[in-house]
Amino acid sequence: MPKLPLIVGAFIMSTILSPVVAIDVNIPGADSKIPKDAYINYQATNQTIEQDVANYVETLKSTDKANGISRNELAYAKEASIYRGEHYHNTVISVHNRYSQIRLSFPVAGIKSEYNIGRYKNPDRTIEDYRIITDNGSLNLEIDYADYKDQNWRNTKIAYEKLTDKDVRKFLQDKAKKNSEKHISDIKATVFSYPTVTYGTWDSMKMPYLKNGQKTTMTVDTINFKHMMGFAIRYPLYHAGIAYFDNKPVLNKVPTDNLLANYVLPSVKNLNELNEYSRIENLNGIKYRVPKDALFEGESKEDYQDMRYYKKGSITFFVSTINLTNNPYTRNNIIDGHYNFSRNLHSFWDIYRYYPTPEYINYAVVWNNNIPGLSIHSYEPYSDIHILNFESYDGTYHFIYTIFYPNFLNAEEVQKLRNMIEFFDSTNNPEFKLQEHVVFPET
């Protein structure tokens, strides 16, 4: 299967597709030719990415030839797919705690995380900042737990229903004047509406930035919203956005012009939806989800590993924790304090991909409360069984969750399984969540 441009490349997995409906939203860059559920597939690509993957394979072949190594094309297909998983996976940010339940995704790979939390005044509030660093900027989710006193927009005297683009620009310009040392400029803003959110605004601004000791310009584009649920004023204000440097609107070879409107905004989900069809289980301090009607089939234990088995009709679920502390068999899993997910990419291919092809397999790195996990979806059309696999690490345990489901499962059920398997939380090592995490420390 040939790779497709970014605007349609995210739409090739028929097992989880919904009817094609274009997005209609008042955000600059919105492209009505891109289906609103393009974010669902974790395989967005473009010609620049494909050329980089091809160059990587050609370099491998040249190196092998120089070293007298002979490998067939299937072996190179495996290497190409693993390279794609490391460098061009999708990024999912998932935050679930007492005050916030949200997940959203970007068709852009990340390198490492930065997490910050702070207290601010006027209005009195706590802000959590989840940031995934890319090659030329970052993917951001800022959660503003503000003590807003009324139903007007952001403590102004303007009701959101009467808010205009000019009002938003003036609000941001006034804030910029109060922070004159940041030299914020080129402020743009709009008001938008979308069925799954409320209090929606978009803004873009530029500011000087010191990058690796060199002066440059940072551009920050952001969508701001609350969940469309209950009394919206009582819920956090979310700021989901991207930042890029040098006036180059490209992150990891993906143009940024339509990312927020066509990919990020439609991907915003309230994680409370998981409660409708799944329940939380706990194994060695790690919380995971299984379907409400899944039956517990048993468990087993080895020296360092605990395993559980569940079943729902023709779907099977395998959950495992491996204690890496003082484990002589896994000493190479941690590099400079970071879990090396590259090993999981290779092991998945070695175990499950019997006939290596670069197609029908998608990758994402899911950041659950700042803890990274690797999500793999393998759906080869000639196989009766498709596979969802998620792996993470909480500072003590390596967590593995694998679901085998029949290829005739409908799109909605597959999507529910994937959203469910990508949920991960841990009561072990609370400080681990606050650390910087690198996904593929060897690359």
- pLDDT at site 153: 85
Does the CA dihedral 158-159-162-163 come out positive or negative? Answer: positive
Q: Cβ(91)–Cβ(139) under 8 Å?
A: yes
Nearest 5°: the CA angle 224, 229, 233 is 60
Of 3-17, 100-114, 422-436, minimum mean pLDDT range: 3-17
At residue 12, does pLDDT exceed 90? no
User: 1-10, 64-73, 346-355 — which one is most confidently predicted on average?
Assistant: 64-73
Mean pLDDT of 111-117: 95
Does the CA dihedral 28-363-115-94 come out positive or negative? Answer: positive
At residue 212, does pLDDT exceed 90? no
At residue 10, does pLDDT exceed 50? no
Q: Which amino acid is at 439?
A: V
Per-residue tokens: 396: 């003590």
Q: Cβ(79)–Cβ(96) under 8 Å?
A: no
Domain 95-271 coded CATH 3.40.1000: yes
| HEC readout, the chain | CCCCCHHHHCCCCHHHCCCCCECCCCCCCCCCCCECCHHHCCCCCCHHHHHHHHHHHHHHHHHHHHCCCCCCHHHHHHHHHHHHHHHCCEEEEEEECCCCEEEEEECCCCCEEEEEEEEECCCCEEEEEEEEECCCEEEEEEEEEECCCCCEHHHCCCEHHHCCHHHHHHHHHHHHHHCHHHCCEEEEEEECCECCEEEEEEEEEEEEEEECCEEEEEEEEEEEEEECCCCHHHCCEEEEEEEEECCCCEECCEECCCHHHHHHHHHCEEHHHHHHCEEEEEECCEEEEEECCCEEEEEEECCCEEEEEEEECCEEEEEEEEECCCCCCCCCCEECCEECCHHHHHHHHHHHCCCCCCCCEEEEEEEECCEEEEEEEECCCCCCEEEEEEEEECCCEEEEEEEEEECCCCHHHHHHHHHHHCCCEECCCHHHHHCCCECCCCC
Query: Which of 119, 133, 220, 233 has its CA nearest to residue 176?
Result: 220
Which of the four pLDDT bands, split at 50, 70 and 90, describes residue 20?
low
- pLDDT at site 149: 52
- Alpha-carbon distance of 443 to 439, in angstroms, equals 9
Per-residue tokens: 404: 């085998």
To the question of pTM greater than 0.85 for the whole model, the response is: yes
Q: Which amino acid is at 267?
A: S
Per-residue tokens: 276: 């409708």
Mean pLDDT of 27-50: 90
- pLDDT at site 45: 87
Q: pLDDT digit string (tens) for 290-340? A: 999 999 999 999 989 999 999 999 999 999 999 998 888 877 789 988 999
Beta bridge mates, 185 = 206
Q: pLDDT digit string (tens) for 222-276? A: 999 998 654 444 678 999 999 999 999 999 999 999 999 999 999 999 999 999 9
- Alpha-carbon distance of 395 to 337, in angstroms, equals 9
- pLDDT at site 14: 36
Beta bridge mates, 120 = 125
Q: pLDDT digit string (tens) for 159-186? A: 888 999 999 999 999 989 988 778 899 9
At residue 9, does pLDDT exceed 50? no
Mean pLDDT of 108-113: 96
Looking at every residue in the chain, the average pLDDT score rounds to 89
- Alpha-carbon distance of 215 to 233, in angstroms, equals 39
Q: Which CATH architecture has domain 277-434?
A: 3-Layer(aba) Sandwich (3.40)
Query: Which of 421, 427, 428, 425 has its CA nearest to residue 325?
Result: 428
- pLDDT at site 358: 67
At residue 359, does pLDDT exceed 90? no
- Alpha-carbon distance of 47 to 196, in angstroms, equals 32
Q: Cβ(397)–Cβ(284) under 8 Å?
A: yes
- pLDDT at site 229: 59
The reply to whether 277-434 shares the fold of 95-271 is: yes
Domain locations along the chain: 95-271, 277-434
Mean pLDDT of 83-101: 94
